[in-house]
Amino acid sequence: MSRQEPFQEITDTNQTDDRSAVIKPMNRYKTTPIRWLEEGRIALGKLTLIAGDPGLGKSFITLDMAARVSRGELPRYVPSGMTCMDQPDERAAESHADPVNNAKPYAGRLVDCGQVVLLNAEDDAGDTIKPRLEAMDADLTRIHLFEGVVQPMGRCVNLTQLDTDIRLFAQTLKKIENLKLIIIDPISAYMGKTDSHNNADVRSVLAQLARLAQWTGAAVVCVTHLNKDAGGKRAIYRAMGSLAFTAAARAVHLVSKHPDDASKRVVAPVKNNLSEESSPRVYRIDEGRVVWLDEDIEWDADSIEQAFEGSRSTPSAMEEAKRFLEEALVEGARKSKEVLEEAESQGITASTLQRARQALGARSFRDNGIWHWVFDSFDKEAPLGAVRVIPESERV
């Protein structure tokens, strides 16, 4: 079946001068499964939002995603030795898919290599975007930069505005076969005259963008910054502009520094309306490439936000949390859940205790699937019952 015209609905025709409503019983709709660009994290045909402060590598993540799509490394797993050119059918690919909980990011080869469209308002194509993609071994023939729109009788390319140019954008995308990914970085630069703090205005534009995603079948990934007003807010309220940005996206991911290692970054799920909550992922940027690390991290998006919010607690509260943690872990590693519960019973909040753990250099590790806390002065294996060696200077 050929594609419909941009945003054309399959409905009964209206032969009157008045508007008409469309209503259908649910049995007329075809049941379809969610299709994933990245299993459990980024869905095809849906909106995804990636939020974070400047300088953390959000654009590196999206370009890394584009490079992998262009090479055929999406999370549909097929037998080893098979490449994207082999084109197995979808059922064969699904029969070899790893379970979500056991799958490693990008561990397999894609059934087919996909096309990517970039909208980037902040980086130069020649000196930044292309060199980064080349460093990531991208297939540049499959990645396209949507530069903008030329007005009638005009010579200047204007930045695409989603409030007025969405149909032209859709008609252009129609020409690209096997489109898998559309990246808009940042989304705020493409909202046109839309008031980014007005829920109704933002919803109107993003509804059209959501229809575009559904119509093309491609994943639409929008990048945004965080607002400056942390103020103890949960991560879901930190995206810049109206809450409608977060509400319209089917999945939202927070990019931040690693709370325990400044050389690393974390991508933590904030919300996901399409699957069970996925675990945070750790990465670093090494020589222009994104290196995904096979590491567990105990922090979730909210606890990361609280850790970097600043010292909201008074000095006495922080010192009290430090003293409590010193005593709680003095005889070795303990389950973090137990320590947090004990702290709460003494009036110490989880966020204050997490900051105290950072300040004291205590680290977290997993033992049989259960998180524990221990001081770095213990043996690296952190056996239960190990004794902390207290320097003489700290002894009473």
Report the distance separating Cα 186 and Cα 139, nearest Å: 23
CATH number of the domain enclosing 187: 3.40.50.300
Which one has a higher pLDDT value, 8 or 298?
Answer: 298
CA angle 316, 227, 254 (to 5 degrees): 85
State the average pLDDT over residues 302-319.
Answer: 61
Structural domain ending residue among the three candidates 273, 305, 337? 305
Summarised one tens digit per residue, pLDDT across range 203-256 is: 889 999 999 999 999 999 999 887 665 555 555 555 655 677 888 889 888 888
The first and second tokens of residue 316, run together, are 């006495």
Domain that holds residue 388: 311-394
Q: Decide if 263 is inside a domain.
A: yes
The first and second tokens of residue 344, run together, are 């709460």
Structural domain ending residue among the three candidates 305, 337, 355? 305
Same domain, yes or no, for 168 and 221?
yes
Structural domain ending residue among the three candidates 244, 271, 305? 305
Arithmetic mean of pLDDT over the chain: 76
- pLDDT score recorded for residue 5: 55
CATH number of the domain enclosing 327: 1.10.10
Summarised one tens digit per residue, pLDDT across range 46-63 is: 999 998 887 888 899 999
Same domain, yes or no, for 362 and 347?
yes
Domain count, the chain: 2
The first and second tokens of residue 231, run together, are 């103020």
Same domain, yes or no, for 360 and 297?
no
Range scoring the smallest mean pLDDT among 63-67, 161-165, 310-314, 332-336: 310-314
Q: Decide if 171 is inside a domain.
A: yes
Q: Decide if 105 is inside a domain.
A: no
- pLDDT score recorded for residue 315: 52
Which one has a higher pLDDT value, 116 or 199?
Answer: 116
Summarised one tens digit per residue, pLDDT across range 340-390 is: 888 887 778 887 888 788 778 788 888 887 888 887 654 444 444 333 434
Which one has a higher pLDDT value, 269 or 107?
Answer: 269
